[in-house]
Structure 1
Amino acid sequence: MYQKMETELTLKPVKSEQNAPILLKQESVVFPSRSTPKIVAKSPFIEANTEEVSLSHLKEDCIIPVFTKDNEITISHQEFIEAAYASILKVFPNEVVDKPEIRTSHLIRGRTPDALHVPAKELTEHQRTMYYERMAFIFRIPSITANINGNLLALTVGGVRAYNTENLYNKKSFEKFKFFIGFQNMVCCNMCISTDGYKDEIKVMSTSDLIIRMSNVLENYLPDQHLKDMQDLQNYHLSESQFAQIIGKSRLYNYLPKKEKLILPELLMNDGHISTIAKDYYNDESFCRQENGDINLWNMFNLFTGANKSSYIDTFLSRGVNAFDFSKGISKALSYSNSNYAWFLS
């Protein structure tokens, strides 16, 4: 189902003397400028309120938060990214890995003690401090690709870190990370994530533990099954009236009484996402309706993942997985009227 394009890996992992999990020495993390075959991303994998930053910016310009009661340092954004890279090299030692694409949001500003009484407009660069509360990143592996409905998909690994989920006002405790492996649709740069390739919460105390946990996710992921499930979505079609029914019921879903909502499958898209999906049903260049109004579920899935790019970093991955589960559920409802997803079509 997926193709391996034979290319030579530029970077090699460095093992510790104690046979610990693979770690990368600080000076060895130099990513290739662009791998072969060349895959160019046309847009960011997430938009919302994020901005793109470089790994060097995180290392050189940002402070690292601490747990205030014992002044123990947190695992920084850059350490998370480098640990993910080490995990990729451990599980995919013969593949090409692109430089990371890093997106951040919720900038936290501060100042050094000597600038306590300096007006903000008069602060010098050395008196300013900053870090990002939320960060998401992806690594593309362009030597492993697939094609669905004429769309090139590249295997992709990534993660999310949100400091707002940590109790930084206490002593150091387990830190939480989100991590995934899936495919990126290079037509639109949407992320395609399945349940078995996603870990909603990894709790660790060190980067060594983090590498072990991330490696387990990579090793347990079933790319063939994920690709087959996505390929199967092409075989199911919705009429314009069926699609309109899904849009309408999706709007109603968020306002259902709690008891009724509990017996239905979960849908994490909000009204803003649903409006975007409805608009793109008519206007999206790659995944819009056919001339007769029909749309296959592969295209509908991509309308959902496209709308998800407007999600905030901390909800982006869970909504991406939910978009995949929802699309599979609708395919079942088209085949079996007793499926609990049939409510969205009734």
Structure 2
Amino acid sequence: MELIANSNQVIPTEQVITSVSEGNFIEANTEQVALNHLQKKCIIPVFSKDNESTISHYQFISKAKEVVQGLFPDLLVKEPNIRVSHVVKGRIPSAIGKPAKELLEHEKTIYYERCAFLIDIPEIKQIVNGNELSLSVGGVRAYNQENLYSKKSMEKFKVFIGFKNQVCTNLCIATDGFSNEIRIASINELSDKMSNLFSGYNKEKHLGNMERMNMFQLSESQFAHFIGKLRMYQYLDKPTQNKVFPLTLNDSQVNKVVKDYFECPNFGRNSEGSINLWNLYNLCTEANKSSYIDSNFERNVNAYELINNLGNSLQNSTPNWLLT
């Protein structure tokens, strides 16, 4: 897929966004807010040593939306679905000492430490293993990953391009469609960074790898062995961990995978207890929805790499610590 920005293209009024991207792509400790809320209701943190402003969540999402519209000028692009967490509350100076229950709205200040968004391009879609996937773009800003006690420096953002499974709103993110650390000094630099990421994303390879997952199955005993190894991983010594595939799902998420293996109507086990890798992948990405915003996307990518690692071992009959 070739993705080239066209900043001179005029977007007809009827093609401009008409609805919000749907679904809870992240669930843990988050709430949904509108872009207008971030613009008008939230203060902007600064770097304390020089009082220089950070790039706000509103600026980040607005610029990303502008970039996506420029890359896909002839397609419907939905409004961002925005999830926030870890609210930081304050009050204006004149409200010092006032009981919290007596605070007026204009006396309160807030901003969100962590923010994630998703923008759907629903006209680019593909059926994979019986599920409809639509192309999506998203990003994360987490102030807890910045040193706000220093002088202004390059600021960190995370951006991805991939697919969303319409059956369950699970995100499907490949390694080449995700940047864990985009560093920019000004919001205008984001366009080039996002365009470079999108142009390097191989949509056909991503879809092909997901199609392939349906070809391989784990028996009930193999699945049980796999779950046991997931639980063992965190207790391995570092030299041993370094020799096996890195795993990022936590214990509660592994519990969710097991629960859904038995109960999920869409991606659960077959009648004889086996499960194909496509269904296992979706159990992992569903469980990942409980990850906090600042670790969600990288864990999603890890799930994709994990399932492909299992598929490679099954296809080539090579040993795999998770299965042996």
- With the shorter chain as reference, the TM-score category is over 0.9
Match of 2:35 among 55, 58, 78: 55
Partner residue, 1:34: 19
Partner residue, 1:19: none
Q: Return 5+ residue gaps in structure 1 as ranges.
A: 2-11, 16-21
Partner residue, 1:344: 322
Q: C-alpha separation between the residues in 2 aligned to 1:230 and 1:151?
A: 11
Give the secondary structure class of the aligned counterpart of 1:153: strand
Partner residue, 1:303: 283
The one-letter amino acid paired with 1:34 is: S
Partner residue, 2:57: 77
Greater than 4 Å deviation, 4+ residue runs: 12-15
Give the secondary structure class of the aligned counterpart of 2:290: coil
The one-letter amino acid paired with 1:124 is: L
CA contact (8 A) 1:46 1:309 kept: yes
Shift of 1:68: 1.5
Which deviations, in whole Å up to 9, do the C-alpha atoms of 1:280-322 show, x marking residues without a partner? Answer: 0000010001111111100000000000001000110000000
1:269 aligns with 2:246: no
What is the TM-score normalised by the length of structure 2?
0.94
What is the TM-score normalised by the length of structure 1?
0.88
CA contact (8 A) 1:87 1:212 kept: no
Partner residue, 1:253: 233
Partner residue, 1:149: 129
Q: C-alpha separation between the residues in 1 aligned to 2:185 and 2:316?
A: 46
Q: C-alpha separation between the residues in 2 aligned to 1:326 and 1:115?
A: 52
Shift of 1:14: 6.4
Give the secondary structure class of the aligned counterpart of 2:322: helix
Q: C-alpha separation between the residues in 2 aligned to 1:288 and 1:123?
A: 49
Give the secondary structure class of the aligned counterpart of 2:214: helix
Shift of 1:329: 0.4
Partner residue, 2:68: 88
Partner residue, 1:176: 156
Shift of 1:176: 0.2
Partner residue, 1:9: none
CA contact (8 A) 1:309 1:316 kept: yes
Partner residue, 2:302: 322
Q: C-alpha separation between the residues in 2 aligned to 1:302 and 1:269?
A: 13
Percent identity reads: 48
Which deviations, in whole Å up to 9, do the C-alpha atoms of 1:30-77 show, x marking residues without a partner? Answer: 963339xxxx84x40110100000001111111111112211111110
Superposition CA RMSD, Å: 2.0
Give the secondary structure class of the aligned counterpart of 1:137: strand
Partner residue, 1:4: none
Q: Return 5+ residue gaps in structure 2 as ranges.
A: none
Partner residue, 1:8: none
Partner residue, 2:101: 121
